[in-house]
């Protein structure tokens, strides 16, 4: 909250009124050359507002126009000019309107108007005073939050230098008033009665109030423990809604029952941390001390949302207060939490697990306030702050999708943030930008910021350039409710409003809990090293529970005995759970699962089958889907001619040649899975057409704007829906979102395609923190598919490499051990992810189908081609896709080398597109009987068994790994030790490829071609390695 550049003095808005006033003070305004005077009292607030069209939201519009007219009468339409002149001239209500003067009669009309502007001298002052009141109201609405008492420490982390916080009735403010700085109102006006504008609700049932009362009510609404930021919202209905919520007199009153519930929640929140501190004083837990009201805040949002019909809430949050949220919001058994502090617990599940303040949780229970079922899940997350935000959104979207909740009425998300992370992490912005996109919206998220005014050891003044940590939310017009977290009733109030806002408008909203952090970043840290003054103040600060209980005791809302009993009761609960936790000898990470998949596994949590099924399809089905892919299955649709040609080409491939190209292979896989009931969601930048204009899953009518056709949704009447969506230009946010979507159900094929593979690195955190180790850390599987276009095609260093080396480097397989178990399935089950680089459309088709047909889920990384999309040889016959066929982990050479394998001098192993360059070169050289080429299609898990078949088949051949990527990139470092392990280190493995380099590819096309030819020469030169051997 530093740099609050606007101050109380700056409560004065820069409005037309102000400009008018300064101008009118400098010199009287002229209308049509004559001096402008004003009629008394009949002005704007009376006669104009009595015009029949001056009601509801139109009055705001008219109001703006009136300001503009005051500044320059010519800036509005003539008819309005006349209305305002007449109104000012005291024409009776309803009579101010006159038809505009005829063209050419301007002079006459003006003369009349001048005559109508009577000589009633007090009018100007009256109008100005009313406008001043209106400006005052607006000033509080816009900037009241600048002087609200938001900081429990009152140490002004916000830069209040130029902003004397002055109470209205204090001398300074009166001075301010009498100095003429307050819109021209002065002390003598305080008892005058003013009509309230329609843009305020402070009057309740009153339409007029004395100025003193107006100011007092505005102070109550906008300058106490709540600071409301909303006037930037460009929707009048929404602004009015918020005004009502905070301005209506008496809105912040609570029943005795509500106060007691709030106190109980505060007791639990506070005493939970105290209990942990007592028992494990030297353990890190990232406690909530200083923001204990977070717990009642969340519970209020949940209660209110449950009341509004929400049945499932998906939450994401960072470290701070996480254990408390698990215990007191999600209701994780306390003994399960406490036993996490026992370092002697043995891990029972597979995987390496995670620290206690990262684990997730899923729990269905009855909401006590509403008596309705509610499911709460807290997503497991890595340390990387805010990374979980898009994942939560994706999972929420998926749950909404699967239960047909198209408006977000039954499923919603809550995201918690730290102040420093919310302001600093770009993924927050990326996530906000998904919030209103048709295929990504979750229909409103409630964001809660634990704003303890520090990030680790860093002050806000050096951590962000915005006034508040929450400014990022303004990009989506989300209202922001700042609240002093030491005022639990105010916290409860804003949380209620936030939940109602979400239920009413289905848009994001932010609650900024302004608080402090009683301890260091964690319980071991010494905060005085870096925040000495802040922590001197914190040491003096009474705890919020103490303050609130004193308030309720003083009010008589609770008795001391009841209060003490409540504390004792919770203490007992904690002690008993602690005793039980000592019996726990084994840590079950499965108990911390955030996304169970009921029915997918057998009762022991194992896959229902470990066999490898054929992924082929009957010919009729291939033909049927192929024809859908070649057609426009709706009437009267005008297709682009170029696209008609493409579809015709597909028809020919299906009907005459029985072959698939890449796009058709993908179509066959998608179409068949949809037909079998699997939902498919393909998301990424420009995926609908395909970056390389090969896919065309969404057809656009060339004559009717926005009329589209998705043939994939016309495959069969009972098929599952197909979602294909161009995403926002984000990788981190969108990949996180799709990962979350894939988490919700195993029965969906969720794919994210990078525009070019290299862009995956802006989503690195999702890949490194979630996709690669997700199962190991959180025992949850995920079948997300990443399609990463890749290939050295002379396009320069960018757009060439999907960085396969990075994915391969993160595989959990041991390169030095030849696996003994059954390969095809067991290896897949044991791996952390699958990495493939298919060289044929048929293999691509099979891998996509296998992803769903296998009985467990693993992330699949597909290194996809670019030039192969149209390569004449990169076509597959239907024969390779029929029943009985399946994904080929390795494609052996089936040419002349098979006739006399003993005579083969070399096996060149390769993967992906370079295969076609190798075969072309081999044909040119005519040595296809002595050099075999084998394609490794599944890089990870490595097909040791099938590689062994090849190396055994050609006992006299040397082994070469050939790749088009540079030596320190691509696959070489991954493949070499595995090849060596396969041949038991009896034969060397030679390298043919580009040399090591810093960049993925040269920017020079000629150099690219020279490099290509050079490594092809090496690959086929049988003497190339003699000197090295």
Ligand X SMILES: Cc1ncc(C[n+]2csc(CCOP(=O)(O)OP(=O)(O)O)c2C)c(N)n1
Select from 163-171, 428-436, 451-459, 841-849 the region that touches ligand X (CB under 6 A): 451-459
Q: Does 429 bind ligand X (CB under 6 A)?
A: no
Q: Which of ligand X, Mg ion, none binds 385 (CB below 5-8 Å, type-dependent)? A: ligand X
Q: What is the total residue count of the chain?
A: 1029
DSSP assignment string, 639-670: --HHHHHHHHHHHHIIIII-EE-HHHHHHHHH
Q: Cβ closer to ligand X: 389 or 489?
A: 389
Q: Which of ligand X, Mg ion, none binds 803 (CB below 5-8 Å, type-dependent)? A: none
Q: Cβ closer to ligand X: 401 or 535?
A: 535
> Which residues are 684's β-sheet partners?
726, 753
> Which residues are 195's β-sheet partners?
208
Nearest approach, Cβ of residue 153 and ligand X (Å): 14
Nearest approach, Cβ of residue 451 and Mg ion (Å): 7
- Measured CA distances, 591 to 146, 178, 379, 1006 (Å): 46, 67, 13, 59
Scanning residues 465 to 524, which ones bind ligand X (CB under 6 A)?
Answer: 517, 521
Give the C-alpha separation, 740 to 314, whole Å. Answer: 11
Q: Cβ closer to Mg ion: 464 or 697?
A: 464
Residue 932: DSSP 8-state: E
Nearest approach, Cβ of residue 777 and Mg ion (Å): 25
Q: Residues with Cβ < 8 Å from 473, sequence gap 6 or more?
A: 432, 447, 480, 508, 510
Give the C-alpha separation, 358 to 10, whole Å. Answer: 44
Q: Which residues bind Mg ion (CB under 5 A)?
A: 418-420, 452, 455
Residue 185: DSSP 8-state: -
Q: Cβ closer to ligand X: 128 or 289?
A: 289
Select from 18-26, 447-455, 717-725, 848-856 the region that touches ligand X (CB under 6 A): 447-455
Q: Which of Mg ion, ligand X, none binds 320 (CB below 5-8 Å, type-dependent)? A: ligand X
Q: Does 455 bind ligand X (CB under 6 A)?
A: yes
Q: Contact with ligand X (CB under 6 A): which of 168, 266, 288, 385?
A: 385
Nearest approach, Cβ of residue 460 and ligand X (Å): 9
Nearest approach, Cβ of residue 575 and Mg ion (Å): 32
Q: Cβ closer to Mg ion: 141 or 451?
A: 451
Tokens of 1022: 């049988």
Contact predicate 790/865, CB 8 Å: yes
Q: Does 1013 bind ligand X (CB under 6 A)?
A: no
Bridging pattern class, strands 938-940 and 834-836: antiparallel
Which of 441, 432, 442 is closest to 472 using CA atoms?
Answer: 432
Nearest approach, Cβ of residue 294 and Mg ion (Å): 12
Nearest approach, Cβ of residue 518 and ligand X (Å): 12
Q: Contact with ligand X (CB under 6 A): which of 419, 731, 893, 921?
A: 419
Q: Does 284 bind ligand X (CB under 6 A)?
A: no
Q: Does 421 bind ligand X (CB under 6 A)?
A: yes
Scanning residues 316 to 345, which ones bind ligand X (CB under 6 A)?
Answer: 320
Q: Cβ closer to ligand X: 284 or 905?
A: 284
Place of tokens 């058994």: 333
- Element of type H or E holding 394: helix 388-402
Q: Does 384 bind ligand X (CB under 6 A)?
A: yes
Tokens of 452: 């303890």
Angle between helices 560-581 and 544-555 (to 10 degrees): 140
- Nearest residue to ligand X, using CB? 418
Q: Does 380 bind ligand X (CB under 6 A)?
A: no
Q: Which of Mg ion, ligand X, none binds 421 (CB below 5-8 Å, type-dependent)? A: ligand X
For residue 558, count other CB atoms closer than 10 A to its CB.
Answer: 20
Q: Cβ closer to ligand X: 454 or 788?
A: 454
Q: Cβ closer to Mg ion: 513 or 874?
A: 513
Q: Cβ closer to Mg ion: 420 or 680?
A: 420
905: exposed, middle or buried (C-beta count within 10 Å: 0-12, 13-18, 19+)? middle
End-to-end CA distance of the chain: 68
DSSP assignment string, 510-527: EEEEE---SS-SSTT--G
Angle between helices 388-402 and 426-434 (to 10 degrees): 20
Q: Contact with ligand X (CB under 6 A): which of 48, 83, 117, 420?
A: 420
Contact predicate 494/566, CB 8 Å: no
Q: Contact with ligand X (CB under 6 A): which of 456, 600, 601, 829?
A: 456
Q: Cβ closer to ligand X: 384 or 591?
A: 384
Q: Cβ closer to Mg ion: 454 or 891?
A: 454
Q: Does 416 bind ligand X (CB under 6 A)?
A: no
Q: Cβ closer to ligand X: 211 or 454?
A: 454
Q: Does 452 bind ligand X (CB under 6 A)?
A: yes
Contact predicate 669/845, CB 8 Å: yes
Q: Cβ closer to Mg ion: 420 or 617?
A: 420
Give the C-alpha separation, 860 to 811, whole Å. Answer: 12
Tokens of 736: 């996180």
Residue 390 sits at the vertex; the CA angle it makes with 385 and 394, to the nearest 5 degrees, is 145
Q: Residues with Cβ < 8 Å from 953, sequence gap 6 or more?
A: 892, 901
Select from 381-389, 508-516, 835-843, 969-977 the region that touches ligand X (CB under 6 A): 381-389
Nearest approach, Cβ of residue 457 and ligand X (Å): 9
Q: Which of Mg ion, ligand X, none binds 405 (CB below 5-8 Å, type-dependent)? A: none
Contacts with ligand X by CB under 6 A: the residue count is 15
Contacts to ligand X by CB under 6 A: 320, 383-385, 418-421, 450, 452, 454-456, 517, 521
């Amino acid at each position: 909250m530093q740099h609050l550049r606007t101050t109380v003095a700056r409560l004065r808005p820069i409005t037309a009124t102000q400009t008018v006033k300064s101008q009118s003070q400098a010199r009287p305004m002229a209308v049509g050359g004559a001096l402008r005077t004003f009629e008394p009292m009949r002005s704007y607030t009376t006669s104009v507002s009595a015009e029949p069209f001056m009601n509801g939201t139109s009055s705001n519009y008219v109001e703006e126009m009136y300001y503009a007219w005051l500044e320059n009468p010519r800036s509005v339409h003539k008819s309005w000019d006349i209305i305002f002149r007449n109104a000012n001239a005291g024409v009776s209500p309803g009579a101010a309107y006159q038809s505009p003067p005829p063209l050419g009669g301007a002079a006459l009309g003006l003369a009349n108007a001048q005559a109508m502007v009577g000589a009633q001298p007090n009018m100007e002052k009256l109008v100005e005073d009313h406008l001043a009141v209106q400006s005052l109201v607006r000033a509080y609405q816009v900037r009241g939050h600048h002087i609200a008492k938001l900081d429990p420490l009152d140490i002004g982390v916000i830069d209040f230098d130029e902003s004397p916080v002055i109470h209205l009735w204090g001398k300074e403010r009166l001075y301010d008033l009498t100095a003429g700085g307050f819109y021209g109102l002065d002390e003598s006006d305080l008892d005058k009665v003013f009509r309230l504008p329609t843009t305020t609700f402070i009057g309740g049932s009153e339409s007029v109030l004395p100025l003193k009362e107006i100011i007092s009510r505005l102070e109550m609404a906008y300058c106490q423990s709540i600071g409301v930021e909303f006037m930037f919202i460009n929707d009048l209905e929404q602004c009015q809604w918020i005004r009502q919520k905070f301005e209506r007199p008496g809105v912040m009153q609570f029943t005795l029952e509500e106060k007691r519930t709030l106190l109980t929640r505060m007791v639990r929140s506070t005493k939970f941390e105290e209990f942990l501190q007592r028992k494990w004083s030297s353990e890190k837990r990232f406690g909530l001390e200083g923001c204990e009201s977070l717990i009642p805040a969340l519970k209020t949002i949940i209660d209110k949302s449950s009341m509004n019909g929400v049945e499932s809430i998906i939450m994401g949050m960072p470290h701070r207060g996480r254990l408390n949220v698990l215990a007191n919001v999600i209701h994780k058994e306390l003994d399960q939490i406490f036993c996490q502090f026992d370092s002697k617990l043995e891990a029972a599940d597979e995987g390496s697990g995670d620290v206690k303040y990262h684990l997730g949780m899923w729990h269905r229970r009855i909401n006590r306030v509403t008596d309705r079922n509610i499911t709460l899940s807290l997503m497991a997350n890595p340390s990387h702050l805010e990374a979980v935000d898009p994942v939560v959104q994706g999972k929420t979207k998926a749950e909404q999708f699967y239960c047909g909740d198209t408006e977000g009425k039954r499923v919603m998300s809550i995201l918690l943030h730290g102040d420093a992370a919310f302001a600093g992490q770009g993924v927050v912005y990326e996530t906000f930008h998904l919030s209103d996109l048709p295929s990504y919206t979750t229909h409103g998220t409630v964001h809660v910021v634990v704003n303890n005014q520090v990030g680790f050891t860093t002050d806000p003044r050096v951590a962000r350039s915005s006034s508040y940590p929450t400014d990022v939310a303004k990009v989506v017009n989300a209202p922001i409710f700042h609240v002093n977290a030491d005022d639990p009733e105010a916290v409860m109030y804003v949380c209620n409003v936030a939940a109602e806002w979400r239920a009413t408008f289905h848009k994001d909203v932010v609650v900024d809990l302004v608080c402090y952090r009683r301890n260091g970043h964690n319980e071991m840290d010494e905060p005085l090293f870096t925040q000495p003054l802040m922590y001197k103040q914190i040491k003096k600060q009474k705890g919020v529970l103490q303050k609130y209980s004193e308030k309720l005791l003083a009010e008589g809302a609770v008795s001391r005995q009841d209060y003490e009993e409540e504390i004792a009761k919770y203490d007992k609960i904690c002690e008993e759970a602690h005793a039980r936790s000592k019996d726990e000898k084994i840590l079950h990470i499965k108990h911390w699962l955030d996304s169970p998949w009921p029915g997918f596994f057998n009762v022991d949590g194992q896959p229902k089958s470990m066999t490898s099924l054929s992924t082929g399809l009957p010919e009729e089905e291939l033909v049927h889907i192929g024809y859908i892919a070649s057609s426009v299955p709706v009437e009267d649709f005008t297709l682009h001619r170029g696209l008609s040609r493409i579809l015709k080409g597909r028809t020919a491939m299906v009907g005459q040649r029985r072959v698939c190209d890449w796009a058709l292979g993908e179509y066959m896989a998608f179409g068949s899975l949809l037909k079998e009931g699997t939902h498919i969601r393909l998301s990424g930048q420009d995926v609908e057409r395909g970056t390389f204009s090969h896919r065309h899953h969404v057809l656009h009518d060339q004559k009717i704007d926005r009329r589209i056709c998705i043939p994939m949704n016309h495959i069969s009447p009972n098929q599952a829906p197909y979602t294909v969506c161009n995403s926002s230009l984000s990788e981190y946010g969108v990949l996180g979102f799709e990962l979350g979507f894939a988490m919700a159900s195993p029965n969906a094929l969720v794919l994210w395609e990078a525009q070019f593979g290299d862009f995956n690195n802006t989503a690195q955190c999702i890949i490194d923190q979630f996709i690669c180790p997700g199962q190991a850390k959180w025992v949850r599987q995920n079948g997300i598919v990443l399609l990463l276009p890749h290939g050295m095609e002379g396009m320069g260093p960018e757009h060439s490499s999907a960085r396969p080396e990075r994915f391969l480097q993160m595989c959990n397989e041991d390169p030095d051990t030849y696996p003994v178990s059954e390969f095809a399935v067991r290896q897949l089950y044991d791996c952390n992810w699958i990495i493939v680089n298919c060289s044929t459309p048929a293999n691509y088709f099979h891998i996509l189908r296998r992803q769903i047909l296998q009985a467990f889920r693993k992330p699949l990384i597909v290194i996809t081609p670019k030039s192969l999309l149209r390569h004449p040889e990169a076509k597959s016959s239907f024969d390779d896709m029929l029943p009985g066929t399946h994904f080929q982990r390795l494609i052996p050479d089936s040419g002349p080398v098979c006739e006399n394998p003993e005579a083969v001098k070399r096996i060149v192993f390769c993967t992906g597109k370079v295969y076609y360059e190798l075969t072309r070169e081999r044909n040119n050289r005519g040595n296809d009987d002595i050099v075999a080429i084998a394609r490794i299609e599944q890089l990870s898990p490595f097909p040791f068994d099938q590689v062994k078949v090849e190396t055994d088949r050609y006992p006299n051949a040397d082994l070469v790994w050939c790749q088009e990527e540079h030596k320190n990139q691509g696959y070489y470092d991954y493949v070499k030790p595995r090849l060596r392990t396969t041949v038991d280190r009896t034969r060397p493995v030679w390298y043919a490829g580009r040399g090591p380099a810093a960049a993925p590819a040269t920017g020079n096309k000629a150099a690219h071609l020279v490099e290509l030819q050079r490594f092809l020469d090496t690959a086929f030169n049988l003497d190339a390695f003699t000197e090295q051997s």
